[in-house]
Structure formats: C-alpha cells, structure tokens
Amino acid sequence: MTYMDIGQIGKEVSSAQLVGIGESTHGTHEFFDFKAKLFIELLQRHGFNTLLFEDSARTCQPINEYIKTGRGNLGNLMSGLYSVWRVEELKNLILWLHDNRLTHRVEFVGFDIDQSLENIEQRDELMAKNILTYVKSKLHTKAFIWAHNSHVKYSDTDKNDRPMGLFLRRLFGRDYLSIAQFFGCGEFSATQIDESKPNSPDRTLKTVAFDNIPDNLLEAQLDTLDDKPYFLSKTGLAIKGFKSDKAYAVRSIGWGIVPSRANEYIENCNVAKEFGGLTYFPVAKHSQPLSQ
C-alpha cells in the first residue's frame, strides 16, 4: 500500500507504454487531481509524451494547439468538451502543460467517437481502434489515457459488453496497464437528470452527495483498510485478499445521475482481474465547474 506517493506510483506504472487511469465518477476532484499529478510525473521523469483524452479528436485538437501556441481563449475552447470536463481541475492541467511546453512537449489527443454519427454500441471497440491508429502513426508514443473505470478495465465481469481496455490489452499486451479509482463518502459533480425530461439538453453540473457507503459495495471493504487516501498495486490487491475470481459491486457513474436513485448506479467488477491497481479516497470533494 502506498499513501499517494506520486513518485513511487509513477515508477510502478511507468514500464507500460499506455497507462489507463479510470474513475468511478466523472466529477470527483480527487480523481482529477491524482490524474493530473501522475501525468505530470510521468511526463517529467518517465518519457511520457501524450495525453489521450475521453472526448473527440475534433474537440481536443484546438486545445492541443493552445498548449503548443497559446492561441485562443482556453475557456471558450473547453466549452466544446463534454460538460463533465469543463472544470477548473482540467483547466489548471492544460495551463501547466502550456506553461511548460518548451521543456515538456506533449500531445493532447481525443480518442472518443462522434456519438451522433457512429455506432454507440461499438463505442469501446472504436475508441480502442482510434488509440491504436494514433499510436501507430506516432513513433515513440508513451501515453496516459484519461477515461472512466468502465472503459479502461481489461474485461467485463457481466459479459454484457466489451470495454475499451479489453481491446487495448489484446492489442498491446502488458504494455497496457489500467488503474481504477474509487471513493467512499463525500460529494461529486454530475448532470442532474430529470426523469420527467430525460432528453433535456441541460448539462449543467450539479453537486451530488454520498453520506454513507452501502455495505454491499467494494468501497465499503476498501474503506476498512485505512482512513487516508492510498494506492494498491496488483500485488497489493492480492496481499489484501482481493481474489481474481471474485466480483464486487462498485459505483459506476457517468455524465449524469438521478439523485434519488444514486445508490443504484453500480456495476459488478472483478477488481483484481480487471485492473492493475487502484486508488481509494475515503472522503472526496466535487470537481469545480469553470468560473465564468
């Protein structure tokens, strides 16, 4: 178990060519903060040079240009991203990448599909193909993949679909490593879905709170291990008794949520089989929407 020693965690994951860092919600400050710090560590000390981001190539390309040249208004450029990404945590990372562009060259690349044009049922497979196409086109790529736990994991416990990480593991073998992120209590940001208006275009981020952890969740077991944030490697998972043949219920929340049904957003996860490690934050804060 490592108590968020970014240098040590960087050493543990840096041998992979592609490192997929997930998150159980798209609106948790601690998840974004960990990702930003780990990516900078990998960029500065381990030869990583690419941030592959869960949004479209079309939307990310102007931000990539901003990082390299400073052209454009970053707030306006970020307005094209999915609403969950329009937050101060990501803005601060992009500003750091721009400010340090002369010493640490980086590519900011979107790999998601255009969900209005392409088959959403094949989304994960198509995202993996987009990543493969990019990596093949750029020699010496070492990339950090920013996405949800449900995308970066190696396999699907329920067998209902095939996650992006399954395809990446087949394509890259052990050169692809995935890390999950979970939290116990606290708040997170998400679009509040109005069940009477399920197709509403409103994507304003709202704050949602979890005041307790249901006993049936993996998070409840993780919460017993320590009261400080920590990282568990693949070996650490085994030492702590997480077996590769056991599935656990875990929180899995994407862009939106019906607050009254918050505890229903779960999926089954064989954490020791589907990930190469995990982070756990006993208490979390919500991400910060961009200031106007």
> Other C-beta atoms within 10 Å of 99: how many?
12
Whether 28 is in a domain gets the answer: yes
Cα angle: 104, vertex 106, 107; to 5 degrees = 175
Query: Per the domain annotation, does 290 fall within a domain?
Result: no
Q: Give me the count of residues in the chain.
A: 292
Could you tell me the CATH number of the domain that includes residue 43? Answer: 3.40.50.11550
Q: Is residue 254 part of a domain?
A: yes
Please check the confidence at residue 74 and state whether its pLDDT lies above 80.
Answer: yes
pLDDT, tens only, 134-149 = 999 998 999 999 999 9
Give domain status of residue 289, yes or no.
Answer: no
CA pair distance 81, 72, nearest whole angstrom: 15
Please check the confidence at residue 292 and state whether its pLDDT lies above 70: no
Q: How distant is the alpha carbon of residue 214 from its chain centre?
A: 23
pLDDT band at 198 (very low <50, low <70, confident <90, very high): low
| 192 confidence band (pLDDT: 50, 70, 90) | confident
Write down the pLDDT at residue 1: 67
What's the pLDDT score for residue 225?
A: 95
Euclidean distance between CA atoms 82 and 59, whole angstroms: 9
b/e code 59-98 from CB counts within 10 Å (16+ = b) = bbebbbebbeeeeeebeebbeebbbbbbbebbbebbebbb
Top pLDDT among 292 and 174 is at 174
User: What would the 3-class secondary structure string for the chain be?
Assistant: CECCCHHHHHHHHCCCCEEEECCCCCCEHHHHHHHHHHHHHHHHHCCCCEEEEEEEHHHHHHHHHHHHHCCCCHHHHHCCCCHHHCEHHHHHHHHHHHHCCCCCCCEEEEEECCCCCCCHHHHHHHHHHHHHHHHHHCCCCCEEEECCHHHHCCCCCCCCCCCHHHHHHHHHHHHEEEEEEEEEEEEEEEEECCCCCCCCCCCCEEEEEECCCCCCEHHHHHHCCCCCCEEEEHHHHHHCCCCCCCCEEEECCCCEECHHHHHHCEEEECHHHHCCEEEEEEEECECCECCC
Judge whether 106 and 51 are in contact, CB under 8 Å. yes
Q: Is the pLDDT of residue 271 over 90?
A: yes
State mean pLDDT over 262-268: 92
Which two three-digit tokens encode residue 37? 């710090």
Q: What is the mean pLDDT of the chain?
A: 93
Query: pLDDT class for 118, splitting at 50, 70, 90?
Result: confident
Confidence (pLDDT) at 127: 97
- Domain of residue 167 covers 6-283
What band does 105 get if pLDDT is binned at 50, 70 and 90?
very high
Task: Specify the number of domains making up the chain.
Answer: 1
pLDDT for res 272:
93
Does residue 124 or residue 243 have the better pLDDT?
Answer: 124
* C-alpha to C-alpha distance for 113 and 131, rounded to whole angstroms: 11
pLDDT of residue 163: 95
Q: Looking at the predicted structure, is the pLDDT value of residue 157 above 70?
A: no
Regarding predicted confidence, which is higher, 177 or 245? 177
- Asked if the model's pLDDT at residue 158 lies above 70, the reply is no
| 41 vs 14: CA distance, rounded Å | 10
Compute CA 172 distance to the chain's CA centroid, rounded to the nearest angstrom: 19
Among residues 136, 134, 154, 172, the alpha carbon closest in space to that of 52 is found at: 134
Paired tokens of 198:
């399920």
pTM of the model: 0.95
Strand duo 256-257 + 18-21: pairing: unpaired
- The pLDDT tens digits for 20-30 are 999 999 999 99
Whether residue 13 is predicted with pLDDT greater than 90 in this model: the reply is yes
CB 177 within 8 A of CB 13: yes
- Helices 29-45 and 6-13 cross at an angle (nearest 10°) of 70
Does residue 292 belong to any structural domain of this protein? Answer: no
